[in-house]
């Protein structure tokens, strides 16, 4: 049975998500811009130390955009590279950056990239980050081309692990995304179903690979809450906030977070997982620490209704 977590609504407040997240602006242009953005956080090794690389894919009328930010676990930015859409016409290039401990190379080639419905490429591309010719992060299927670009002695694979992802999804009743809930695990189809139009008693249903894993009835009373599901035999805590869908303006979005954990007991013991900074994607030190301690993978979905 689905239960409401007592502290969850109080963490948000009536408009907590909207205040903390700029993507909930009442401006339709800003809302559309947010809907064309995917952010991924990878935990990597840089000179033997853990670091976080944040890759943000964007898309607008000018074309594809890309941002790469490298931070250490103390929240210090080591370097940042922005490839603006209007400078992205060649769709390939490289940046060489000097940092205190050495040289970082960032190379990309999206000249033949193929995309799905969102701004994140699905095949025909590479994005590589190397430190002193040692591969730190390697994305895409054109791995050999990336190796040639950086150094022929570099390894074909990096040890980077995807630990968090934020994505904006759009729909009328069905909202879909893909997620890999554990490293080297299989990709799953996540579908959120919720019809709030002309219904006296709307219901929230979440399916993984077409299988119903949770259902929330009397949604007007349970518009915020949490529930534990099992995916690949692992507990995944699902948090939801659909207040905007039911009581907000037409441009409002619902927020869902899927948080894998080693055990439900360990998840509940960590108070930071119910902190609104996690659900609103604030890069706080607490969030980074708990991800580094192995609490698993976080998927944050902003679901926008398409009128």
Whether residue 39 is predicted with pLDDT greater than 50 in this model: the reply is: yes
What pLDDT is stored for residue 49 in this prediction?
83
Instruction: Name residue, tokens 């997240």.
Output: 21
* Tokens read off for 25: 């602006």
Mean residue pLDDT of the chain comes to: 77
Residue 5 has pLDDT above 90, yes or no: no
C-alpha–C-alpha distance, residues 2 and 115, integer Å: 36
Q: Would you place residue 307 in the very low, low, confident or very high pLDDT band (cuts 50, 70, 90)?
A: low
Q: What is the pLDDT of residues 102-137, one digit of tens each?
A: 889 999 999 899 988 789 999 999 999 998 888 899
Longest dimension (CA), the chain: 63
Would you state the pLDDT for residue 25? 41
pLDDT, tens only, 241-274: 999 998 876 667 899 999 986 544 444 444 333 3
User: Which of 12-26, 86-100, 145-159 is predicted with the least confidence, judged by mean pLDDT?
Assistant: 12-26
Tens digits of residue pLDDT in 183-241: 777 899 999 999 877 678 899 999 999 999 999 999 999 999 999 999 988 889 999 99
What is the mean pLDDT of the segment spanning 89-113? Answer: 86
* Cα–Cα distance, 247 to 217 (Å, whole number): 17
At 289, phi and psi to the nearest 5? -60, -45
| Short-list 34, 41, 107, 105, CA closest to 69 | 41
Q: 44-69, pLDDT tens digit by residue?
A: 988 778 899 999 999 887 778 899 99
Question: How sure is the predictor about 87, in pLDDT bands with cuts at 50, 70 and 90?
Answer: low
pLDDT of residue 50: 87
pTM confidence score: 0.78
pLDDT at 24 over 60: no
């Amino acid at each position: 049975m689905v239960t409401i977590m007592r502290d969850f609504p109080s963490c948000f407040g009536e408009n907590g998500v909207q205040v903390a997240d700029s993507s909930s602006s009442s401006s339709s242009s800003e809302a559309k811009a947010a809907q064309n953005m995917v952010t991924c956080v990878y935990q990597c090794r840089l000179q033997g130390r853990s670091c976080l690389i944040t890759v943000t894919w964007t898309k607008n009328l000018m074309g594809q955009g890309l941002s790469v930010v490298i931070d250490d676990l103390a929240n210090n930015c080591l370097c940042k590279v922005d490839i603006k859409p209007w400078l992205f016409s060649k769709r390939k290039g490289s940046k060489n950056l000097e940092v205190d401990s050495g040289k970082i190379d960032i190379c990309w080639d999206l000249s033949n990239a193929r995309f799905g419905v969102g701004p994140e490429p699905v095949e025909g591309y590479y994005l590589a980050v190397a430190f002193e010719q040692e591969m730190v992060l390697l994305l895409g299927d054109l791995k050999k081309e990336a190796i040639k670009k950086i150094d022929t002695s570099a390894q074909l694979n990096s040890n980077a692990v995807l630990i968090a992802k934020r994505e904006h999804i759009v729909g009328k009743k069905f909202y879909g995304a893909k997620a890999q809930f554990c490293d080297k695990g299989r990709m799953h189809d996540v579908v959120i179903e919720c019809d709030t139009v002309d219904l006296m008693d709307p219901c929230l249903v979440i399916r993984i690979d077409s299988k119903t894993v949770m259902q929330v009835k009397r949604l007007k009373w349970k518009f915020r809450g949490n529930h534990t599901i099992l995916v690949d035999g692992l507990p995944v805590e699902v948090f939801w906030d659909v207040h905007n869908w039911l009581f907000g303006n037409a441009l409002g979005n619902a927020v869902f977070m899927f948080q894998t954990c080693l055990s439900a007991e360990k998840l509940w013991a960590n108070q930071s997982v119910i902190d609104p900074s996690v659900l609103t994607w604030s890069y706080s030190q607490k969030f980074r620490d708990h991800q580094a301690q192995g609490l698993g993978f976080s998927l944050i979905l902003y679901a926008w209704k398409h009128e």
